[in-house]
Amino acid sequence: MKIALGADHAGFSLKEILAETLRQQGYGVEDKGTYGRDSCDYTDYASAVAEAVASGEVERGVLVCGTGIGMSIAANRVPGVRAALVQSEYQARKCREHNDSNILVLGARVTTTEMAELYLSLWLTTPFAEGRHRVRIEKLDKRKS
């Protein structure tokens, strides 16, 4: 599976750690930046990852900023993206089972590295439950954004 990663300056360190974890686990990693700690705009990296997911260049995306909120808002502007800000194990599972989340969003200033690794692992291994949840996400794609 190919996964695009993106972060702003606040999420840079956690993004580097998660990218290494994914590489070690055999995932293909497309690092869309940022590539350093200089202040930058989360919107640019959210767009790069969201567009890579929406176009099919990659199957999934992971975005990290300080709170996770800016990345969530920006990524969900792109049609076809279902970006989920995860702050609990329950949300990590349910955003896959119920929402078929294709982008995981993490807040580096509100989530420890250990919990971020756990959320990522749950998010990658939990399948979409289909059924009534498929009907609901199809309605998302029918509405005008």
Binding interface with ligand RB5 (CB under 6 A): 8, 10, 42, 65-67, 69-70
Q: Which is nearer to ligand RB5, 100 or 108 (CB)?
A: 108
Annotation says 98 is catalytic: yes
Q: Which is nearer to ligand RB5, 64 or 100 (CB)?
A: 64
Q: How many other C-beta atoms can be found within 10 angstroms of the C-beta atom of residue 139?
A: 8
Annotation says 40 is catalytic: no
Q: Which is nearer to ligand RB5, 43 or 126 (CB)?
A: 43
Residues written for the chain: 145
First-to-last CA distance in the chain? 28
- Nearest distance in Å: CB 19, ligand RB5: 18
Fill in the DSSP letter of residue 129: -
In whole angstroms, give the CA distance from residue 128 to residue 136: 12
